[in-house]
Chain A
């Protein structure tokens, strides 16, 4: 086992994702404490240039192959397994994204390395990783160690600051071979059609979740948004139900928003949602469940039925 902390780099459209820099910053401080190196592993085709933006790492392992032009779970796993097996880092950090889930669980099973999922913090205590994980939609936190003192953690977005991972260092670059596994073939990226409203540019968002109950009640939040001069956004279940367009969805697979005001109405605040809105300047949450995790990120909260509060607030504003 080495004292190195290894980060699997995620990139898309020729840019490294913020989640990678979040992990890299943490890897750097953890590796320094453990006496090892922060190693960034980047896979792709023609990614030498991208490796140059990994100055936050002590070492960059580059796997450059035409077969890695886009992420596929099978090709990434085939290339990463020997790298992680041979280097035996004390800790592997992977973003809790779709690709990250595939990579981390795949490596865990292939190398019999334990995996701690939905990590919101990773520390070293007594020379071994101690991982804080969000369970039960954020309602429970578990602190776990790895049985043999080493393992993998998938880390939720926003757990660590991006800035700490952006460095101007001059890491050692190494090349590693790709392994062929073409059982999954990338066919293309689909981008959402532009919506009528760009919620990432709105200063005031009135965001609605399951607590709205039924589709007809959406007009209540639309009336409130209009009274506030803001726009309506939503959590995932509302977009899945087709009650609002996908372009209004805030969260992990939706959009990340940073409005001046975010009214979270009937949104419980699962980690996937918090990921998209915790950077809002002012968060006011109304939910009927006093233990809803949304209250842990809100600045103001009220335990109430939104079907009572929303019309009352609209009337107060236009009255």
Chain B
């Protein structure tokens, strides 16, 4: 079974995001990047499936200058991927439609029974790469999945798709297929930084071009980007923890809550 995982880096939300002077984009000069959380779940699932039933795991990421895609792919190797490939060449992470077109082209040269990627990313304004890629390649796709299991004959995969209220739908999907992974069965494994650094020097990161549709474009026109007014409606409580606790207790007491309970 050949598993392919699509990954990318996204801005680190631990840092404050700001809008640039154009008002149409994030200020990117000092931006730091991390692997997209859901893509890490997709990788962990692929590694778990490979460990359980054998096969290969190939990781693809776009060749983006911003951030450190080599580190992202070296981390995949350190965690257990067999092969990593950098697709196309981009100054910054492109939109999902462009990414899907580039990955669709790259799959011509990569064996793939099951393609796994994060169900979403914090920057996928024009939709999710998984179903976009699947439709381009004529493959079936399911988003928001957990509980991935390969069928006995190796020609199908069974997944759960999450709905509201904790309800899930179970599907059997013909391979090859694309899945948008919501979460992994275990926390994504840790790769020691020293191992990643070593692999960045010694490992082979293959490169392929992004194909003729490598600049497909999202078809969206940005009119404005803004930081929503945080706390627009909230009355902010200031002070030390004891003062904050006192004020919250008062607010609750005004509504008859928290009095005479627990005594």
Contact = CB atoms under 8 A, between A and B. Distances in A.
Interface of A: 12, 17, 70-74, 77, 97-99, 101-102, 104-106, 108-110, 112-118, 130, 133, 135-148, 151, 154, 157, 181, 183-192, 204, 226-229, 240-241, 246-247, 249, 252-256, 260-261, 263, 282, 284-286, 290-293, 295-305, 308-309, 312-313, 315-318
B58 interface: no
A270 B221 CA distance: 25
Given A71-B169, A97-B164, A190-B170, A290 B230 contact: yes
Given A293-B228, A300-B251, A98 B162 contact: yes
A226 B262 contact: yes
B144 A101 contact: yes
Contacts of A77: 135
Contacts of A113: 219
Please name the 9 residue pairs, one residue from A and one from B, whose CB atoms are nearest each other, closest first. Answer: A114-B219, A98-B144, A109-B135, A192-B166, A105-B131, A312-B245, A308-B241, A313-B245, A301-B234
Interface stretch (B77-85, B197-205, B252-260): B252-260
A187 B171 contact: yes
Contacts of B130: 105
B141 A117 contact: no
Given A142-B222, A296-B234, 5 more contacts: A98-B143, A187-B158, A190-B168, A241-B187, A315-B245
A295 B120 CA distance: 24
A300 B235 contact: yes
Given A228-B261, A302-B248, A296 B131 contact: no
18 contacts: A73-B131, A97-B164, A101-B144, A104-B127, A109-B131, A139-B228, A140-B17, A141-B226, A142-B225, A146-B219, A147-B221, A148-B219, A192-B165, A253-B144, A296-B230, A300-B247, A309-B245, A312-B244
B172 A187 contact: yes
Interface residues of B, number: 89
Contacts of A154: 127
Given A106-B134, A302-B244, A261 B252 contact: yes
A109 B169 contact: no
Contacts of B128: 101, 105, 117
B109 interface: no
Interface in B114-131: 119-120, 122-128, 130-131
Contact of B166 (A17, A228, A249): A249
Contacts of A240: 183
A225 to B, nearest CB: 10
Nearest to A306: B241
Nearest to A301: B234
Question: For the complex, would chain A's binding face be called helix, strand, loop or mixed by DSSP majority?
Answer: mixed
B228 A141 contact: yes
Contacts of B69: none
B53 interface: no
A118 B127 CA distance: 8
Interface string B130-141: 111111100011
Contact of A145 (B220, B225, B241, B258): B220
Contacts of A313: 244-245, 248-249
Contacts of B261: 227-229, 317
B231 interface: yes
Given A73-B142, A183-B140, A296 B125 contact: no
From A105, A137, A252, residue with most partner B Cβ within 10 Å: A105
B39 to A, nearest CB: 15
Given A114-B219, A285-B234, A12 B136 contact: no
